[in-house]
């Protein structure tokens, strides 16, 4: 189950988020959709980087009550990337959610040998999403 808290005006259909989650895990996930100011504060606090980012993942070490962790996505970054890359905000949100969920599941593109990229590509094809996530993170 995905618990979604959207504190922005971003409108989207949660159906694809639920389908992605159901495919990858039986654990619960919290999805927070915030503005650039909020994600910048979180990025600075948890990563020491004082700028907004598109997605952050916060895995829970002890998995209380079947909770995998939290994913935070910037609605501002979703809108910017969708416009810049020529796809919908719904598609961009799904791409960022996939990226964040894979991090919660233990994938790390900064240290693995391409396993996360391969899994992202597989999911992007499965859900017929734009390939921009793969291209921009290569």
- Using 50, 70 and 90 to split pLDDT, how confident is the model at 131? confident
More confident: 114 or 29: 29
Task: Yes or no: say if 61 and 75 are a contact pair by the CB < 8 Å rule.
Answer: no
The CATH number of the domain holding residue 120 is 3.40.390.30
Terminal Cα distance for the chain, rounded: 31
Query: Residue 138: pLDDT above 80?
Result: no
How much is the average pLDDT of 4-12?
A: 96
How much is the average pLDDT of 25-47?
A: 96
Query: Residue 64: pLDDT above 70?
Result: no
How much is the average pLDDT of 102-118?
A: 84
Q: Which of 82, 106, 91, 86 is nearest to 15 (CA)?
A: 91
Cα-based distances in Å from 71 to 5, 16, 42, 65, 83: 11, 15, 12, 17, 22
The two tokens of residue 105 are 């599941």
What confidence score (pLDDT) does residue 137 get? 53
How much is the average pLDDT of 29-57?
A: 97
Pairing of strands 55-59, 67-74: antiparallel
pLDDT in tens, 38-51: 999 999 999 999 99
Q: How many structural domains is the chain composed of?
A: 1
Measured between alpha carbons, how far is 95 from 19 in angstroms, rounded to an integer?
13
Containing structural domain, residue 132: 2-136
């Amino acid at each position: 189950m995905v618990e979604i808290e959207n504190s922005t005006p971003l409108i989207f259909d949660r159906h694809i988020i639920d389908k992605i989650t159901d495919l990858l895990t039986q654990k619960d996930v919290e999805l927070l959709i915030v503005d650039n100011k909020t994600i910048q504060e979180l990025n600075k606090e948890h990563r020491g980087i004082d700028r907004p980012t598109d997605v952050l993942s916060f895995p829970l070490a002890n998995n209380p009550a079947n909770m995998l962790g939290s994913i935070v996505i910037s609605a501002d970054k979703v809108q910017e990337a969708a416009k810049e890359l020529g796809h919908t905000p719904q598609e961009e949100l799904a791409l960022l959610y996939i990226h964040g969920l894979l991090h919660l599941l233990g994938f790390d593109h900064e240290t693995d040998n391409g396993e996360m990229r391969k899994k992202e590509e597989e999911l992007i094809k499965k859900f017929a999403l734009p390939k921009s996530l793969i291209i921009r993170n290569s």
